[in-house]
Structure 1
Amino acid sequence: MDNQFWMPLFAALVAASVTTTGIAVISRFQQWGQNRTAYFASFAAGILFSVSFCILLRQHLQKTQRPRLFVDRISADASDQPFPVRMRL
């Protein structure tokens, strides 16, 4: 089998092991988990938001006619000053 099969399989196995470990920890420390339910929900919402934003940004840059120019300007501005990044258009 080629590399296109093994990388997704590896990623799925890592995700499954992390999820299983999380379930085991939460079942072991139930009171601790119940006290921090809001933190877990906020973390999950943040992950969902940032992953969807990264996917949309990648799709946009693929459809843009000159995405390299956009990326070069962001990286040039980022190297000049740490924060805030000002883009020159």
Structure 2
Amino acid sequence: MRLKLRFAIGSAWTDREHNQFIWLNSYDGPGTFAERNALYWSPPERSAMGLNPDHYLVAAEERAIESVAASMGPAGRPANAPYRNPEAEQTL
């Protein structure tokens, strides 16, 4: 259903120690993420599936995040950081 509403599913993780499922999804279209997310939870198709999130979600936390990967250079260094080659350094 998220794909039908033009959400992109990025990735998912399991934190077994804390019994948590964490997933990254995004939305880039008309309206805000919150508005589109409300549509996700309210359509008649969801009701027809018989899935009530109160039955299986103990808690939910939403965070707005930004990617920093585009501003990173080699080996995860900020793109504008001076490059230091440790192999070229000599100990005197």
Normalised by the shorter chain, which TM-score bucket? under 0.3
More strand, by proportion: 2
Determine which structure has more spread, i.e. the larger CA radius of gyration: 2
Normalising by structure 1, what TM-score?
0.27
TM-score by length of 2: 0.27
